[in-house]
Amino acid sequence: MKKPNRRRTVYASLYRIPAEDKLIANMIFIVGSNGKLEDYFPGPFTIGDYFGSRLRAQEATAVVCSYLKDVHPRMKVKPEDVKLYPYGKADGLLFRLKHR
């Protein structure tokens, strides 16, 4: 029996270190279609290299998807499923999800 596709939303808080050309994640967490927290990656940790003058949202979501494919190879995450938040807002959302 085929498993139905579960819609997930990924929330990420990222920043770039210009001198080192690294993309750092403060936190990444995955919320399932039922609104419950599925996985949480506390940071800060390096999720990839970034070369460019400015960090664009489209490129950042692609790096997050690439990182999640390495960590969870069977999970299907598209760039449009990734939401980029500032650290304070993402931390507040994570707190509300943990303490429902």
Domain that holds residue 67: 9-98
Cα–Cα distance, 25 to 42 (Å, whole number): 8
Q: Is residue 14 part of a domain?
A: yes
Closest CA to 28 of 15, 19, 20, 59: 15
Q: Is residue 3 part of a domain?
A: no
Q: Is residue 1 part of a domain?
A: no
Give 1's pLDDT tier (boundaries 50, 70, 90). Answer: low
- 9: tokens are 């939303």
Quote the DSSP letter at residue 7: P
Identify the pLDDT of residue 56.
Answer: 85
Identify the pLDDT of residue 83.
Answer: 94
Residue-wise pLDDT for 39-91, tens only, equals 899 979 988 887 777 778 888 898 899 999 998 888 888 899 999 999 999 99
Cα–Cα distance, 84 to 67 (Å, whole number): 15
Q: Is residue 2 part of a domain?
A: no
Q: Is residue 56 part of a domain?
A: yes
Q: Is residue 65 part of a domain?
A: yes
Segment (H or E) for 86? none
Per the structure, the count of domains in the chain is 1
Q: Supply the Cα-derived Rg of the chain in whole angstroms.
A: 14
Q: Is residue 4 part of a domain?
A: no
Identify the pLDDT of residue 28.
Answer: 93
